[in-house]
Structure 1
Amino acid sequence: MYEDILKKVSLFSGLSDRELKEIARSAQERHYSAGTALFHQGDTGTGLYIITAGRVRIIQANDPDRAEEVIGTAGPGEVLGEMALLDDLPRSASVIAEEETTAILLPIWEFRAVLRQQPEIPLKLLSVLSRRLRKAEGRLAEH
């Protein structure tokens, strides 16, 4: 049901339709009213969010003596919290619905259970992440 949405996530670009379907089984649709937080900076990552309707504001507070800073917005088709699927680091920003918003949540624990059952999927994800790292290193070397 949600595999077409997951197909647009760059992390999953190397997965087959069957693998996407397996991952999509645990996806959940969530609704947020305006002003509601999808998650807060410092929270433990619970999964990946894909905005399907509405708009969210991404806020970061790096200095306790300064006000929160809006670092961006996201709308339909955009992905938030992708790395939470792979690491256990706290959320680096808060995400607040600016208007009625619908998102697909891919929960971390169900995702990791699929990875344990389907060992070819983590290998494909590693390939995507390796390409990203090489590209980032190339940009650093240029400066």
Structure 2
Amino acid sequence: MNEDALARVDLFSGLSKKELQFLTNSCQERTYTAGSTLFAQGDAGVGLYIVISGKVRIIHKSNPEADEEELRVLGPGEVIGEMALLDDLPRSASAIAIDDVKVLLLPVWEFRTILRNHPDITLNLLSVLSRRLRKVEAE
């Protein structure tokens, strides 16, 4: 079942069934209740989150006294937390469950192995990051 969900994710859409099975076996399924935190701004990046069901708010605070800013809302088929895995810097934002959420967590070491072994995923990731950057620059 999770293989089908992963096949619908832009990053992994080009993978074979065997590769999707490997990816699924590398993931840990996690659930979060509405209002709970998946990860907080400043945390170390331990993995990439793939939303299977529910919606997640991505929020950012420029400093402790500032109001939080909602960056986006993500839902099924979307990926969260990839930036901290690429640059080894702390999380740049927090992820909060809007409603009950089910995710697959791909640990950082598995994520990096997959990127090394599957250049097509790396290119897909660059495309996703580029679209996000263009959107921010256009605002």
TM-score of the two chains, using structure 2 as the length reference: 0.75
Question: Following the alignment from structure 1 to structure 2, what is the Cα–Cα distance between the partners of residues 34 and 135?
Answer: 28
TM-score of the two chains, using structure 1 as the length reference: 0.74
Question: Following the alignment from structure 2 to structure 1, what is the Cα–Cα distance between the partners of residues 119 and 15?
Answer: 10
Matched residue, 1:80: 80
Cα deviation digits, residues 30-72 of structure 1 (max 9, x gap): 1111221000112111112122222222110013331111222
Question: Following the alignment from structure 1 to structure 2, what is the Cα–Cα distance between the partners of residues 14 and 34?
Answer: 32
Identify if the C-alpha distance between structure 1 residues 135 and 42 changes in structure 2 by more than 3 Å, giving closer, same or farther.
Answer: closer
Q: Percent identity?
A: 51
Tell whether the 8 Å contact from 2:6 to 2:77 is kept in structure 1 after alignment: no
The amino acid of 1:121's aligned partner reads N
For residue 77 of structure 1, give the secondary structure of its aligned residue in structure 2: coil
Matched residue, 1:6: 6
Matched residue, 1:69: 69
Tell whether the 8 Å contact from 1:35 to 1:97 is kept in structure 2 after alignment: yes
Residue pairs, 1:98-117, within 5 angstroms: 98-113=98-113
Tell whether the 8 Å contact from 1:2 to 1:27 is kept in structure 2 after alignment: no
The amino acid of 1:66's aligned partner reads A
Identify if the C-alpha distance between structure 1 residues 31 and 42 changes in structure 2 by more than 3 Å, giving closer, same or farther.
Answer: same
CA RMSD of aligned residues (A): 3.0
Tell whether the 8 Å contact from 1:84 to 1:108 is kept in structure 2 after alignment: no
Structure 1: which 5+ runs fail to align? Answer: none
Cα deviation digits, residues 95-122 of structure 1 (max 9, x gap): 111222211111212333556xxxx733
The amino acid of 2:26's aligned partner reads S
Residue pairs, 1:128-139, within 5 angstroms: 128-129=124-125
Kindly tell me the number of residue pairs found equivalent between the two proteins: 135
- Bigger Cα Rg: 1
Question: Following the alignment from structure 1 to structure 2, what is the Cα–Cα distance between the partners of residues 41 and 75?
Answer: 19
For residue 34 of structure 1, give the secondary structure of its aligned residue in structure 2: coil
Kindly report structure 1 stretches of 4+ aligned residues shifted beyond 4 Å. 129-139
Which of 115, 118, 138 is the equivalent residue of 1:122? 118
Structure 2: which 5+ runs fail to align? Answer: none
